[in-house]
Every structure is written in C-alpha cells, then in structure tokens.
Chains A and B, each alone.
Chain A
C-alpha cells in the first residue's frame, strides 16, 4: 500500500514495487493522476487497486484498507508517502493551516499505520516506511507546521517500532532532501530549486528513484533487523 501514489516519490515507488512483482494498492487525494499511476502499474503487469482517499479521514482510510484486502489480499508493506507542504512565514501561519498540515502528514500516517496493523499483527509480518524530511532535523523558517509534522512522524515511528517489534513488524523513516517533484515547486521557483541543487554536496537535487531505492530496501526481506531508524536521503545535505 502506497499513499501519495498519484505523483512524485509515491508514484515512482508504486511503479518500482510493480516492477519488483508486488501487488500495489494506490491511495491519493487526486483521482485523475491516481488513475494514470494505476494504469502505469497495470501496464507493468502488476495487480493494483486504486481509490481516491483523504488519509486524514479515519473512516475513509478504514474503508480503503478493507477494499484493498478484498481486492488484493493482506497488506504486508505500507509506505506512507502522502504529505502536504504548507509554506508560509511563521508569523503568518494560521491555526487552520497548522491543523491541516498536522492532520494530513502526522495524523494521516498514524491512521494508515493503525489501519494495516491488525492484519500485520495476525500474520506476524509487516514492513512500514514512513516519510520524514531533512527539514525535521534542520527546521524550516517558512514551514514550521510541515517540519513539526515530520518531527512528529519520526518520534511516532520510533515508538511504533518498539511497540510492534516483537510481532515481527519493522517500521522505519526515509527522510528525503529536496527532490525533483511537483511538491517543492509549490513554494520554490525553478531558480531556487537550481540554487539548492548547486549547493548540495552531491551537486544536484534528488530524483524520485534516489528516494525509492532505499525505501525498497526497507520494505524488502533484505531488511531483517533494522527498525525505528531514520535514513536521510539527501545527497549529504544533512549528515547528523
């Protein structure tokens, strides 16, 4: 199950999982690009189920997971990629914007984990990757709510990892740096994107595939003993 599957990192992850032979459940708020991702997954010969869903709505998430299990079988892997980025200076950050950013990113991650856990606990198998951001570590003057949501996801993940470790479920965080997708373009100009790329230690911004590869590792059976960890995937921008 991949949330945020309509675009960016989520879409690239869904396609990579299809290539790896998985059946893929696709969740996203945007129906049209979601359909397009589903078609691309099908074109790779993988079974898929896609349905528009607001991950911050606990009833809708419950229904979505039930439908996935009906169509594709038990959910063994979950990647919580969906997130929104509300960019506004702190002094102008409204309570509504704060609430929305926390609801989608942090509460949405909680709700999706909670929805898949009963099945994983019964089968004593599951791997979950939640998505942080390098901004959780650095702070972001114009994205306090986004950064807070990501810091919350990291500490939630550490806690959940310990809660379910004995049941054979592993939970980790991938924390991308600036990645070449639509999301950062919502608040950065192309010139700012290029400037960030130039100042990155590796001299470029991340591509979705750069983020997908370590995510696939966390989700794979090569990952046998790693849980509760944060992996920064950002070209060396954040090394602490």
Chain B
C-alpha cells in the first residue's frame, strides 16, 4: 500500500460506488472483523488495519477478495505518522472517508504490585495511544467532508474494574473520556463520536471462562461479535444522527450503568 504498511490483496479500484460509505477500522480480531463484514454487507467500503497479517487475510477471505475491503498490516498501530499515511492512502483510493472504528486492543494479566512498566506501557500504547492517533488522523478528513462518525471501543470493565488488568481497564476509562472530549470538539463540524462498551463476548480469547461468565448474565449467555458489531454499525449509521458523546453498552445486561 505504501511505506506506512503492507497491503494484502488490495482491491483493484474499478468498482465505483459514489454513494457508498467508506470506513476505516483498526483491529481485526473478532469484533473488528464482524464490524467490517457487517459494513460491507450494508454496501460500505472498508479499509482495515491490524498488526497481524493473518487477521487481515482472514477478513479479505471472508469477502472473497472483494474490492470493497482493503487491508493493511502494520506493527506500528500507535504511531501517528503511520496512521496519517494510512488515512491518506484511503483518501487516495476511495476519495473520502465517512467514519472510523477503533477496535485494536490488547490486554494482559498481572497485579499492579508486580506490573512492569513495559507491560503497563504496552497496553496503554496499543489501546489508548492507538485510539488517539487514529482519531487525530481521521478528524481532518471528516471535518473536510462536514460529517462523519467515530466509534471507539470501551468495555464493561471500565465500570466494573478489572483486577489483574488495571492497565486494560485504565485504557478503556481513558478512551471514554477521550470520546466525550472529541464529541465536544468535533460536534460543531458535524462529526459524531461515541463509544461501544461490550460485555463478555464470545471471542477466541475467552477460553474456559465462557460458561462461568454466561451464568451471571441476565440474558444467560454471552454476546456474539456480530451482536456487538450491530451496535457499531448503528452508531455509524444515519439512524444515530442525533447520538453523540454516548456509551452504548452491548452486554446482555451484565452491568446497567
């Protein structure tokens, strides 16, 4: 794609859909991938970014190599210059950008008293700085267009607290406050900014905790990535035209803040 990152099966650009929306999504794990696929099903074109080439290839495979998905992988998910290059590439490829979804995140498990600075910084960098630099990179394109929507990813753990993952929870609380600030700052330019806070969701990382988590939910089960993605596409859509600065909890009732 460019020096900013490497493209995987880049679309040929011959399909012109002038009215089609263009979205950028970081993070192609379960929820990010589900959101990308849902957007494509709805007729949008999507540029996806991940640190993992295989994750990019999975989403490309899921759309049978359609030109509606362009995938870029980069190890530098928290570097502003890389984010700006990727946004510039999307604008060069499709001419405009309608919105951005920040799904890239990592976590870890270590109590505060034992947490090395490197572990703290690793999680803050990907989750928080990564969200910030992409919001900053996409804002000028959305301001130019005079409309747009940003969805960032929080978590029920920002509210409940995450013993053993204080750094993860801290990034999610910080992302919510960043989201509110962005909603204030960019609202006058017609840009909406919201957060989606998933509860425990059926993802690859969940493992054996699945049954234990499900039993405590009012709905008696975990959410699926597709159900979370439905929240993302709602917040991006015109149906949510008057919704900004909000946290949408898609969690089966696990917390009710």
Question: Is there contact, CB below 8 Å, between A152 and B161?
Answer: no
Question: Is there contact, CB below 8 Å, between A90 and B136?
Answer: yes
Question: Is there contact, CB below 8 Å, between B129 and A89?
Answer: no
CA distance A139 to B158 in the complex (A): 16
Given contacts A152-B171, A156-B173, whether A139 and B162 have CB atoms under 8 Å apart is no
Residue of A118, A135, A141, A157 near B177 (CB, 8 A) is A135
CA distance A107 to B124 in the complex (A): 9
CB proximity to A under 8 Å, residues B98-124: 111-113, 115, 117, 120-121, 124
**A-side contacts of B171, CB under 8 Å:** 152
Question: Is there contact, CB below 8 Å, between B158 and A155?
Answer: yes
> What sequence of 0s and 1s flags, for each residue 94-117 of chain A, a beta carbon within 8 Å of any chain B beta carbon?
010011001000110011011001
Question: Is there contact, CB below 8 Å, between B163 and A163?
Answer: yes
Measured CB to CB, the closest approach of chain A to B76, in angstroms, equals: 12
CA distance A152 to B174 in the complex (A): 4
**B-side contacts of A196, CB under 8 Å:** none
Measured CB to CB, the closest approach of chain A to B255, in angstroms, equals: 11
Measured CB to CB, the closest approach of chain A to B223, in angstroms, equals: 20
Tell me if B164 counts as interface (CB < 8 A to partner A): yes
Give the interface segment out of A24-32, A41-49, A65-73, A143-151: A143-151
Please name the residue on chain B nearest to A138 by beta carbon: B180
Measured CB to CB, the closest approach of chain A to B153, in angstroms, equals: 14
Question: Is there contact, CB below 8 Å, between B120 and A110?
Answer: yes
Residue of A110, A111, A158 near B161 (CB, 8 A) is A158
CB proximity to A under 8 Å, residues B127-174: 128-129, 132-133, 136, 139-140, 143, 157-167, 169-174
Given contacts A114-B115, A117-B112, A148-B132, whether A158 and B160 have CB atoms under 8 Å apart is yes
Measured CB to CB, the closest approach of chain A to B113, in angstroms, equals: 4
**A-side contacts of B136, CB under 8 Å:** 90-91, 93, 95
Question: Is there contact, CB below 8 Å, between A156 and B129?
Answer: no
User: Helix, strand, loop or mixed for chain B's interface?
Assistant: helix
Question: Is there contact, CB below 8 Å, between A161 and B161?
Answer: yes
Residue of B164, B174, B179 near A155 (CB, 8 A) is B174
Question: Is there contact, CB below 8 Å, between A148 and B120?
Answer: no
Tell me if A193 counts as interface (CB < 8 A to partner B): no
Please name the residue on chain B nearest to A91 by beta carbon: B139
Tell me if B186 counts as interface (CB < 8 A to partner A): yes
Question: Is there contact, CB below 8 Å, between A106 and B245?
Answer: no
Tell me if B184 counts as interface (CB < 8 A to partner A): yes
Tell me if B68 counts as interface (CB < 8 A to partner A): no
Q: Number of B residues contacting the other chain (C-beta, 8 Å)?
A: 47
**B-side contacts of A228, CB under 8 Å:** 161
CA distance A102 to B170 in the complex (A): 11
> What sequence of 0s and 1s flags, for each residue 166-204 of chain A, a beta carbon within 8 Å of any chain B beta carbon?
000000000000000000000000000000000000000
Measured CB to CB, the closest approach of chain B to A164, in angstroms, equals: 8
Question: Is there contact, CB below 8 Å, between A139 and B177?
Answer: yes
**A-side contacts of B117, CB under 8 Å:** 58, 111
Tell me if B181 counts as interface (CB < 8 A to partner A): yes
CA distance A11 to B248 in the complex (A): 40
Given contacts A102-B174, A114-B113, A121-B113, whether A140 and B157 have CB atoms under 8 Å apart is no
Residue of B80, B120, B139, B173 near A151 (CB, 8 A) is B173
Tell me if A142 counts as interface (CB < 8 A to partner B): yes
CA distance A160 to B111 in the complex (A): 8
Question: Is there contact, CB below 8 Å, between A90 and B170?
Answer: no
Question: Is there contact, CB below 8 Å, between B176 and A151?
Answer: yes
Question: Is there contact, CB below 8 Å, between A117 and B184?
Answer: no
Tell me if A15 counts as interface (CB < 8 A to partner B): no
Given contacts A158-B160, A159-B157, A159-B163, whether A151 and B112 have CB atoms under 8 Å apart is no
Question: Is there contact, CB below 8 Å, between A144 and B178?
Answer: yes
Measured CB to CB, the closest approach of chain B to A122, in angstroms, equals: 11
**A-side contacts of B120, CB under 8 Å:** 107, 110
Tell me if B196 counts as interface (CB < 8 A to partner A): no
Given contacts A90-B139, A150-B177, A159-B169, whether A113 and B112 have CB atoms under 8 Å apart is yes
Ordered by A's residue number, 5 sampled pairs between the chains whose C-beta atoms are within 8 Å are: A91-B139, A95-B129, A98-B132, A114-B112, A144-B182
Chain B interfacial positions (CB closer than 8 Å to A): 80, 111-113, 115, 117, 120-121, 124, 128-129, 132-133, 136, 139-140, 143, 157-167, 169-186, 245
User: Other CB < 8 Å A-B pairs besides A90-B185, A139-B182, A156-B167, 7 of them?
Assistant: A90-B181, A95-B132, A147-B177, A148-B128, A148-B181, A152-B177, A163-B111
7 closest A-B pairs by CB: A155-B173, A139-B180, A151-B177, A158-B161, A152-B174, A144-B181, A156-B170
